[in-house]
Amino acid sequence: MKDRIYFLLVDDQQLILTLASRILKNNGYKHIIQASNGAVALNKIKKSPMINVIVTDWNMPNMNGIELLMAIRNDPNYFNISVLMLSEEMSDDKIFYAIEEGVDAYLEKPFSEDKFIATINKVLQKDLDPDPIKYKLQKLTAMSLRKKVNETIDYSKSLLQEYGNNIDVYLILSDCYLSTRDYENAEECLHKVLKINKKSSKAYHMLGQISMKQFEYEKALSYMEMAYSINPLNTDAVISIGNIYLKMGKIKEASETFSNLQVDTLTNRNYTSIGAAYLGAGNLEKASQYLQSAKAPVLESIAVFNKYALELKKQGEYEAATDQYQKCLKIDPLNHILLLNTAVCYFEKKNYAEATSLLEKCLKIDPQFNDAARLLNHIKKMKR
């Protein structure tokens, strides 16, 4: 069995990576990959699809352990990878947060070899001896993550009939209803979750999202504050509270909410979320402040940076807009929309050679992209 287990160790401290690798090798495990933070780990996962177990530190730059855990659990290709979370201080709040996001086990640093291997064995044993409903929940999760909404709803209902009330099923079902704007059924599912577990911050957070979509901002604020009181380490809840204040026109309260976040714990994802909130409120100056602090976009945040660049372009700041587009193209080089938008910036800067090159790349990807073809023809006519 040990020959079939592939580990990914994630920590920004090389000493911990070396120690954990040595322990695993001493205990017969051969396949070990290392990464320095969550963002690097995600790239390693995509290049090494055989990974079975991730051992990750909590506190890391760029993308921390809890964000890595959330990214994995929300990816249809990797959601069932086992995750062991490490932390120098595994407080009750951290344990609660990690469990709610689907961690398989947790361990405080520093750790002994015996304790580390015992925890690894515990993680592996869960896969060998799963709960009766586990495989069915995995099937349901895969359906949901692949956006098979109708199938997910039908299968959720069948599981509820077979097993009775189940928090995981209700949360997945409510998310499906939310995606179809069936807010009434989504709320009903979430209130059933809260009857089972009054301390589900996920349920309160989703109720807040539903209220926001219905422009019930006072109600949304109440739900988000409840989510944060239950899970005070959840930065997403704080950012959502600030976003609600922005939508209510309470600029001062929003600014204070964001300012109260500890700068040393903010990640690229957090900065991007705050920047997106200010973009939505039409405050380009504040959006720039936070988005510039995000060192680089990831695939999931490209839409935010694209919108940011569009706003810069409207202000005539073509150089700054080009910089943002180039950042995005490093992550998604075959995105024809990004290529066109970048080409437009070069066109406005009268760099027609670079604009032409980007438009030609764009049309190789999508020969039917009329906007790119029109701009390319326009440039060619200008050169005659």
218-253 tens-digit pLDDT: 999 999 999 999 999 999 999 999 999 999 999 999
pLDDT at 358 over 80: yes
What pLDDT shows up at residue 126? 81
pLDDT at 296 over 80: no
Is the domain defined by 2-128 classed in CATH 3.40.50.2300? yes
Mean pLDDT in residue range 270-284: 96
103 vs 66: CA distance, rounded Å = 9
Q: Stretch 141-146: mean pLDDT, rounded? A: 96
pLDDT of residue 298: 80
Task: Give 100-143 pLDDT, tens digit per residue.
Answer: 999 999 999 999 999 999 999 999 988 777 677 888 999 999 99
Task: Name residue 87's beta-bridge partners.
Answer: 108
- What average pLDDT does range 78-92 have in this prediction? 93
d(CA 98, CA 111): 19
Cis peptide, bond prior to residue 110, ω within 30 of zero = yes
pTM above 0.85, yes or no: yes
What is the pLDDT, as a whole number, of residue 130?
67
Question: For residue 26, is pLDDT > 90?
Answer: yes
Q: Is the dihedral of CA 188, 194, 200, 204 positive or negative?
A: positive
Directed axis angle between helix 134-145 and helix 149-163, to 10°? 160
- Of all residues in the chain, the percent with pLDDT exceeding 90 is 88
Tokens found for residue 188: 């009903």
Q: What confidence tens digit (pLDDT) does each residue in 249-274 have?
A: 999 999 999 999 988 888 999 999 99
Q: Where are the domains of the chain?
A: 2-128
Please return the burial class of 225, using the count of CB atoms within 10 Å of its CB with bins 0-12, 13-18 and 19+: middle
Closest CA to 38 of 7, 78, 81, 70: 70
Q: Can you state the angle between helices 318-331 and 302-314, rounded to 10 degrees?
A: 160
At 47 the pLDDT is: 87
CA distance 144 to 299: 20
pLDDT at residue 196 greater than cutoff 80: yes
pLDDT tens for 47-83 read 887 999 999 999 998 899 999 999 999 999 999 999 9
Confidence of residue 22 (pLDDT cuts 50, 70, 90): very high
Q: pLDDT tens digit string along 315-337?
A: 999 999 999 999 999 989 999 99
Overall residue count recorded for the chain in this entry: 384
